[in-house]
């Protein structure tokens, strides 16, 4: 998954404004207690981050 596709998925699921807040502030256990922004900055791939977001927010299979 490309980073652009990752952000498109985030915006589609959470909206523009909430995506920015979520990525910056919400700590996700599945990312080693990191935020989305921290995980991406630490080199975790967008696909892995997206899977962790899907799990953390119990997104439907159609979003995955």
Mean pLDDT by 10 residues, the chain (64 residues): 97 96 97 98 98 96 86
Please state the pTM of the whole predicted model.
0.92
> What's the CA gap between 36 and 48, in Å, rounded?
10
- Residue-number span of the structural domain to which 45 is assigned: 3-63
- DSSP reduced 3-state for 53: helix
CB atoms inside a 10 Å sphere around CB 23 = 19
Helix, strand, coil percentages for the chain (3-state, nearest 5): 70, 5, 25
Whole-number pLDDT of residue 54:
97
Number of separate domains in the chain: 1
Measured between alpha carbons, how far is 10 from 53 in angstroms, rounded to an integer?
Answer: 9
pLDDT value of residue 62: 87
Task: Decide: 10 and 19 in contact? Cβ < 8 Å.
Answer: yes
- Please report the pLDDT score of residue 12 as a whole number: 96
């Amino acid at each position: 998954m490309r980073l652009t596709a990752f952000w498109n998925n985030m915006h589609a699921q959470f909206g523009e404004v909430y995506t920015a807040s979520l990525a910056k502030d919400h700590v996700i256990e599945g990312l080693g207690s990191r935020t989305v922004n921290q995980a991406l900055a630490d080199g975790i791939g967008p696909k892995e981050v997206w899977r962790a977001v899907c799990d953390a927010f119990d997104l439907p299979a159609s979003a995955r």
